[in-house]
């Protein structure tokens, strides 16, 4: 059990979810928090991670750090998506075990589920059919992460919980057009198209000064790399923005607009995460009342003696197969990408047109999750999508000041 003095390491504390979890813990009176920026600690560096755990010795870990992006980024950087995420997870989870961390919360994604999974997707549809190809590497990495948590619990009696959030949005979201998710990318595109129509170059340059935009554009048979910021000339700015479907009073989005998506406000996700961290144990998920958290074998010398086990470990035939111990986190509600664009247009006050390029991929057509397990563990969302889109645009405007 974690108390208010417990030292909690939030990996990825500057990110969308990590920052919200940090603030949620603070608001609950948990002030012994530890965070490191990527510059301060590279989680893909095994030796640096070990050194950090040697020095800090956290009681609990929230693994919210990840290498993330949308369809375009997943398509361009497939090797990076699987390798970077696997390194982060392996390093943090293995060092958590080596240093006796009491509780670990691993954040994944609902992209772990098969492309054609029955809707809404229950936890037990994991690994039942092929994944969506466009984000397969990221999904495989996250499946490995949740399986690490599950397997450490079963072999070593640890208390590592994996939560799988639906599409998230909120304060500190990533609005960089090359690698952001659907909602922030859409919102920024609509906003910039409006500014072009308003001939508000001061605001356009302010936006680009804070978040520069890069693009690889084919010209005369060659690929030219452009990076624009607030100091770039107007012609180059317009060329690069047009590459992303941003024009004068017109935005072109990828796909048909028909896929259905579920969205969860990041601060709701943080609240769900902290609720699970503080109130839910592995035994609560698998339904075993007498679950020992005592590590078995001799951890110091790495030898596991199953004949002298002092706690849960390995496969217990009488319990049957234990799998799918992760928890879906979402709203259980969905809307089409086109309907989302209409909410964004309304929030931004955009009077232009939004078109969809059907030659570009849609990704999975539907990704609604079943949240009955989460509800049974005592948590439900608070922010509905209509309110959330307005809140996100308010935050984005504030970030430009």
Widest Cα–Cα separation across the chain: 76
Find the mean pLDDT for residues 154-178: 92
Report how many domains make up the chain: 2
Domain with residue 359: its CATH number is: 3.90.25.10
| pLDDT at site 345 | 98
Q: Do 150 and 46 share a structural domain?
A: yes
Does the residue 351 lie in any domain? yes
**Would you say residue 289 has pLDDT above 50?**
no
Does the residue 134 lie in any domain? yes
The dihedral sign for the CA sequence 212, 142, 122, 376 = negative
Q: Do 238 and 101 share a structural domain?
A: no
Percent of the chain with pLDDT over 70: 90
Domain that holds residue 236: 182-260+333-366+384-399
Q: How far is CA 388 from CA 81, 103, 223, 395, in A?
A: 28, 31, 38, 10
Does the residue 81 lie in any domain? yes
Tokens representing 332 are 């259980």
Cα separation, 66 vs 107, whole angstroms: 9
Tokens representing 339 are 């309907």
Confidence of residue 71 (pLDDT cuts 50, 70, 90): low
C-alpha closest to that of 392 among 95, 235, 82, 182: 182
Q: Do 154 and 36 share a structural domain?
A: yes
Q: Do 66 and 146 share a structural domain?
A: yes
Q: Do 101 and 64 share a structural domain?
A: yes
Find the mean pLDDT for residues 267-273: 97
Q: How far is CA 292 from CA 198, 303, 375, in A?
A: 64, 19, 25
Burial of 41 (0-12, 13-18, 19+ CB in 10 A): middle
Find the mean pLDDT for residues 92-114: 96
- Residue pair 345/250 in contact by the 8 Å Cβ criterion: no
| pLDDT at site 307 | 33
Confidence of residue 288 (pLDDT cuts 50, 70, 90): low
CA angle centred on 163, ends 117 and 321, rounded to 5°: 65
Domain with residue 313: its CATH number is: 3.40.50.720
DSSP labels for 222-247?
Answer: EEEEEEE-TTS-HHHHHHHHHHTTEE
Cα separation, 268 vs 21, whole angstroms: 9
Q: Do 266 and 255 share a structural domain?
A: no
| pLDDT at site 69 | 63
**Would you say residue 306 has pLDDT above 70?**
no
Q: Which residue has the higher pLDDT, 336 or 296?
A: 336
Find the mean pLDDT for residues 69-98: 85
| pLDDT at site 398 | 96
Q: Do 235 and 158 share a structural domain?
A: no
Does the residue 177 lie in any domain? no
**Would you say residue 363 has pLDDT above 80?**
no
**Would you say residue 299 has pLDDT above 70?**
no
| pLDDT at site 365 | 86
Tokens representing 76 are 């361009």
Tokens representing 142 are 């996250």
Does the residue 377 lie in any domain? no
DSSP labels for 159-176?
Answer: -EEEEEE-EEE-TT----
| pLDDT at site 70 | 61
Please state the length of the chain.
401
Cα separation, 92 vs 247, whole angstroms: 43
| pLDDT at site 134 | 83
- Residues 15-49 have pLDDT tens digits of 889 999 999 999 999 999 999 999 999 999 999 99
Q: Do 153 and 19 share a structural domain?
A: yes
C-alpha closest to that of 75 among 361, 348, 401: 361
Q: Do 219 and 99 share a structural domain?
A: no
**Would you say residue 272 has pLDDT above 80?**
yes
Confidence of residue 223 (pLDDT cuts 50, 70, 90): very high
Q: Do 295 and 252 share a structural domain?
A: no
Tokens 């028909």 -> residue: 258
Q: Do 218 and 108 share a structural domain?
A: no
Which range is least confidently modeled, 15-19, 83-87, 316-320? 316-320
Confidence of residue 290 (pLDDT cuts 50, 70, 90): very low
Which range is least confidently modeled, 79-83, 142-146, 374-378? 79-83
Does the residue 372 lie in any domain? no
Q: Do 324 and 337 share a structural domain?
A: no
| pLDDT at site 304 | 38
**How many other CB atoms sit within 10 Å of the CB of residue 300?**
7
Tokens representing 280 are 């839910």
Does the residue 176 lie in any domain? no
**3-state class (DSSP) for residue 184:** helix
Cα separation, 175 vs 399, whole angstroms: 11
Find the mean pLDDT for residues 143-166: 96
Active site residues: 138
| pLDDT at site 350 | 98
Cα separation, 341 vs 344, whole angstroms: 5
CA angle centred on 30, ends 25 and 31, rounded to 5°: 110
How many alpha carbons lie under 13 Å from residue 15 in its C-beta half-sphere? 20
The mean predicted confidence, pLDDT, of the chain is 90
Tokens 């609990």 -> residue: 60
Tokens representing 214 are 């890069």
Does the residue 2 lie in any domain? no
């Amino acid at each position: 059990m974690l108390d208010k003095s417990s030292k909690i390491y939030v990996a990825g504390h500057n990110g969308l979810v990590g920052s919200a979890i940090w603030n949620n813990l603070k608001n609950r009176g948990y002030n012994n928090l530890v965070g490191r920026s990527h510059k301060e600690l590279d989680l893909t560096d095994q030796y640096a991670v070990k050194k950090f755990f040697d020095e800090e010795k956290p009681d609990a870990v929230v693994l919210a750090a990840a290498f993330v992006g949308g369809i375009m980024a997943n398509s361009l950087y497939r090797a990076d998506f699987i390798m970077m995420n696997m390194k982060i997870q392996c390093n943090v989870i293995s060092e958590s075990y080596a240093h006796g961390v009491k509780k670990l919360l691993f954040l994944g994604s609902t992209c772990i589920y098969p492309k054609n999974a029955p809707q809404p997707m229950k936890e037990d549809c994991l690994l039942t059919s092929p994944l969506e190809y466009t984000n397969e590497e990221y999904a495989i990495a996250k499946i490995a992460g949740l399986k690490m948590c599950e397997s450490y619990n079963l072999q070593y009696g640890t208390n590592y919980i994996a939560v799988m959030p639906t599409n998230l949005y909120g304060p500190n979201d990533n609005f960089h057009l090359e690698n952001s998710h659907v909602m922030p990318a859409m919102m920024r595109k609509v906003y910039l198209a409006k500014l072009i129509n308003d001939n508000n170059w001061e605001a356009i340059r302010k936006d680009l000064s804070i978040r520069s935009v890069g693009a690889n554009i084919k010209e005369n048979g060659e690929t030219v790399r452009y990076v624009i910021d607030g100091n770039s000339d107007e012609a180059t700015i317009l060329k690069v923005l047009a590459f992303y479907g941003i024009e004068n009073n017109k935005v072109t989005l990828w796909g048909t607009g028909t896929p259905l998506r579920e969205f969860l406000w990041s601060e709701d996700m943080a609240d769900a995460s902290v609720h699970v961290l503080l109130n839910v144990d592995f035994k609560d998920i698998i339904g075993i009342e007498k679950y020992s958290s005592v590590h078995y074998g001799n951890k110091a010398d790495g030898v596991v003696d199953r004949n002298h086990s002092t706690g849960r470990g390995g496969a217990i035939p009488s319990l049957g197969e234990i799998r799918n111990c992760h928890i879906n986190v979402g709203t259980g509600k969905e809307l089409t990408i086109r309907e989302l664009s209409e909410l964004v247009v309304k929030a931004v006050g955009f009077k232009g047109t939004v078109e969809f390029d059907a030659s570009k991929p849609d990704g999975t057509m539907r990704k609604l999750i079943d949240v009955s397990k989460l509800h049974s563990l005592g948590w439900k969302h608070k922010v509905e999508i209509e309110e959330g889109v307005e809140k996100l645009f308010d935050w984005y405007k504030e970030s430009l000041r």
